[in-house]
Amino acid sequence: MFFNRKKQPAIRSLIGEGTQVHGELRFDAGLRIDGEVLGDVVATEPTSLLVISENARVQGKVMAGHVIINGQVQGPVVATALLELQPKARIVGDVHYEALEMHQGATIDGVMKHVSGGEAEVERPLLKLAAANEG
């Protein structure tokens, strides 16, 4: 019955409760945040796992393959595979996901957008063409 489920990567890094990190955080495999991060949290592997626990806070972009949130995120969230929002999840920012599991009580203040496959991995920048210089 669980044969189709892929094995999740091991959580090899932890930001403990009472710890505050300033700046961008890059990780592969698995990361659990119990403290506070002021900056972006970005996975370098598409099969990564990110857990933001009940007492955790992140102010910045969150991007990983499988994202589990039960804390607070202020910023955009991109889950290239699965986004799990547990009952105490609070997100203020836009959410991009391929698959979504949302428990009763979780809240999102932003736009939710379903993306398929690799679309969620790269945010496409808005292109602006410069006007020709008349002279």
Question: Which residue stretches of the chain have pLDDT < 50?
Answer: 1-4, 121-126, 135
- Looking at residue 129, its pLDDT comes to 55
Torsion, Cα of 15, 60, 57, 54 (10° steps): -90
- What span, in angstroms and rounded, lies between the C-alpha atoms of 116 and 79? 11
**What is the reported pLDDT for 102?**
96
* pLDDT of res. 10: 85
DSSP label of 35: S
What sign has the CA pseudo-torsion 112, 118, 119, 120? positive
- What secondary structure letter does DSSP report for 87? T
For the chain, domain boundaries = 11-118
Q: Count CB-CB contacts under 10 A for residue 71.
A: 22
> What gap in Å lies between CA 62 and CA 114, rounded to an integer?
16
Q: How far apart are CA 83 and CA 27, in angstroms?
A: 18
Summarize pLDDT for 63-100 with one digit per residue, the tens. 999 999 999 999 999 999 999 999 999 999 999 999 99
- According to the model, what pLDDT value does residue 6 have? 62
Six-digit token pair at 118? 């690799």
How confident is the model at residue 118, as a pLDDT? 55
pLDDT score recorded for residue 9 = 80
Q: What is the pTM of this model?
A: 0.82
